[in-house]
Structure 1
Amino acid sequence: MPAAQKLVLCIAATVIAVLSPVIYLPLFVLISMIFASLVLAKVPIRIYLSLLTIPLAFGLTGAVVLLFVTGGGETIYDFFTIAGFHIQITDKSLNLAMLVLARTFAGMCSLYFLTVTTPVTSLFKVLRDVHLPQEFIDLTMLIYRYIFVFIGEAIDIHNAQVMRGGYSTFKDWISAFSMLTSMLFIRTWEKGEDIFLSMNSRCYDGVMLLPEEDTQTSVKYAVIIFAYLSLLVVILALEMIL
């Protein structure tokens, strides 16, 4: 599937899932995107589950907060009272927490379907095809590159500190972490200078070239995407009416 069509699919599915007033449509998007990633794209389930652990913590934290601070509705369980404020779970707070959690994971699974099946260079090519400013695209490419430079340098420095017992005590941990942050800034700055020199040595003229790719729209995938999004819109309309 061309990157542009996948981008349209994922953005549209995420927006429709967020607009849903009940949990059923986000769950449908969630399940369908997981199916597309694991079955159609054949992404290893271990890698996919490891990716889901990152938003899981944030999603559950937000859901728990909504579960206890949202009032209204019939009380399901009342834990205790602090200064007249009831720590309790109501049917309204439970529904809202489940809805927010479902929306979160529907959006994340849509994003993961895009990221695990699409090379980042293809996404940059799509940005160029929609005539976004060249400066914005180049800056995005450099930021993307620097993420891995930053992570790589942090891992190298951290491993060197661990081998020298830098995190044996809490005092050593504070000292080692402060040294890591300061050294990380210096090392990434030096890496940036190296990248800039290497780009100039390769005749960089202000435009970062991308590999040529076949961006022709597939009629078959266009029909599938249209049918899928139409189904989502119909479900959304039924949810709002009923």
Structure 2
Amino acid sequence: MHAHRVTFLLLLLLPASPVLANLDVHPMRVHVDAGRTSSIRVHAQSSRTQYIRATVRQVVAPATEDEHEVDAPPGDASAIAVTPGMFALAGGGSRLVRLIALEPVTEETAFRVYFEGVRAADADAHTETNETASATIGVSLVWGVLVNVLPADGQVAMQLAQGRLHNRGTLRLGIRRIEQCVAAVCSTHDIERSVYPGAALALPFQPVAGARLRVHYRLSRDGYREHQQTLLP
């Protein structure tokens, strides 16, 4: 799914510098409820100390052809904060990074939190480190974690119109499949697409008059639990 893809960016820096060992970030997708926190764990995959910086970008028009990212507002103006935003990661160690919901959102909003290695000289003065730590980078992977911030009172609402499934609610719909039933005969269409509030999904089939459409979907806060709703064309 377009909006759920794992983002890996390969940064090519000075070829004469040593190579920064890879990181392991888990999970690659999280949600944050209004007024709550969530967490991501960053693991080191080498014996060398690394300096890690976290940056936040907001995903605009997620899961559509127009999806793109913009810099998230700094500080309290942003919907989420990442703490710590810069830290030293000891060789073979791990660090728990917390995501904090700051500003309330009126509908589910997508962000990506990027974790990348930086040079020791670029690390913030407040970074937790020690005098013997050293880390330089030549080639580094940047990990992008998809973060969904949820409204306090999220609502599910969907509508069929002109062969499209419209999300009229305030929560993302992780559409899994749609069954079209005419009398006792049903056909199943696997879809696997996210539909964010205000967006619409073009159905891969033509709804039949008098049929019942059973939509199977997931919500960000419910993990793999499936929900369903029946609609009439």
TM range (shorter): under 0.3
The structure with more helix, counted as a fraction of residues: 1
The structure with more strand, counted as a fraction of residues: 2
What is the TM-score of this pair, normalised by structure 2?
0.24
What is the TM-score of this pair, normalised by structure 1?
0.23
Q: Which has the larger radius of gyration?
A: 1
